[in-house]
Each structure stands twice: as structure tokens, then as C-alpha cells.
Amino acid sequence: MSSAARIGGGEGVDVVYASMVLHLVQPKALPHLIEGVAEALKPDGVFLWNTPDTAPAPADACVIHAANRLLRGVLGEVLDDETRLDSVIAKLPEAERGRYGDLPARAREIRQALTPYERARLRALGDKQVLPVPTDVSEIHAQLCRRFLGATSTLMSVLSEEDAIALALLPANQRYFAEVPERDCREALIRLLLRAEVLPRLGNGPAGHPTGLNLHWTFGRYAKRAG
């Protein structure tokens, strides 16, 4: 946002709209981003934003990366325990198990090749794609109040199983699972672990919905402070 003040020919803009952005920002980077937004706006400008991965979610909903965070944990168990993947595959109907027959051997190869240092390095890179813990809305609000006046609201939608899988398979989000180096193996594990383990576990909890998961959204409307 260093050049944000030059937006609108240097006079600023009326509105800045950030859709599905703030949940990607490390908390320590929020002050700089918010300062840039304020500088880009006219004196009476408005900052509108939304995010599906901001805490706290109500008891009957979850944030959008809840499944991916749980998936990463299960993937870690698979890489730590060679029996874990067999137990997941066993949950599938017998007719579907064959398509994943090569995964235990491939997971074993990854386990043998992955050093503790490399694993930690890859996890740290993944944490830049999906924050380990979703930022609390109170922290975002506190930072915004330095330059803005406003409030947040919430809304609930439904994240289907298909959309949850598609979200995890986005190339950018696959960096969150970079311990698995080969794309075809990584995508097969993502599909398997989501369908057989992660989504059923979340769906059987309070955030479950007949067609997927209740998804918690946060919306913000903030007017730039005078002066």
C-alpha cells in the first residue's frame, strides 16, 4: 500500500473495498495496511471489507479455513504414523479403496525423505498462506479505530463439500500442504482426507449443515476519521 496515496490522481478515492483480503494479512502487518487504506481515501472516504476467516465464529458455524487447518493436522498424523492412512482408507466403501491403493507407499517415501528441518521450513511457508489461528475481529477493529470510525456485522452462508475440496485444491492453498512435494499425490491426499476424515468430523459437529458447513462471515464498514 506504499503508493496508495497516489490512487485517484493523488486526490484519493471515495471507497476502498477489500473482499476476502484481511484474513490473509499477518496481524503485525495490519497497521501498515490500514494506514495505506486511510491515505488512499478522501477525507470522507469509506473502507468496506469482508472476510470468511476471522474469529470468533459462533458455536454453530466455522471459518472458511477450519477444514484446511484440521486437514493439515490429519496430514501431519499421516506423515508421523504409517498406520494412520490405512485407517482412513478403511473408512471408504470397498469399491473406492482401490483408487488410493498407492498412497500408503508414497506417504512412506515422503516420511523417509522429509527431514525435521525441511518439514519445519515448509510449515512456516504454509503459515504465510493460511494463518495458523484466524485473526480475532477485535484486533482488526482496534487497528482500524486508529484511523477510522465504524463497526462490523456478521452473516452466515453454507460451504458445500465440493466447495471445501475446491478451496483446498487451489494452487495457492496447496502451499499449506507443501510437505507433500508431488502435486498428484498431494491432491489425492487432500481429496481423501477431506472426504473420509475432516469434513465428516466437522459436519457431525455443531457447524454441520445438511449440505456442508455453516460458514461465518465478518463484514466491516468504516469511515475515515476527520483530521
CA distance 221 to 49: 7
Cell (9 digits) for 6: 497516489
CA distance 91 to 27: 39
Task: Select from 190, 185, 189, 184 the least CA-distant residue to 169.
Answer: 190
Residue with cell 470468533: 56
Q: What is the DSSP letter of 166?
A: H
Which pTM was predicted?
0.92
CA distance 111 to 113: 6
3-class DSSP state of 214: strand
Question: What's the confidence (pLDDT) of residue 29?
Answer: 96
Q: Is 20:26 a contact under the CB 8 Å cutoff?
A: no
Question: Mind listing the pLDDT tens digit for each residue in 78-123?
Answer: 999 999 999 999 999 999 999 999 999 999 999 999 999 999 999 9
Question: Mind listing the pLDDT tens digit for each residue in 113-145?
Answer: 999 999 999 999 999 999 999 999 999 999 999
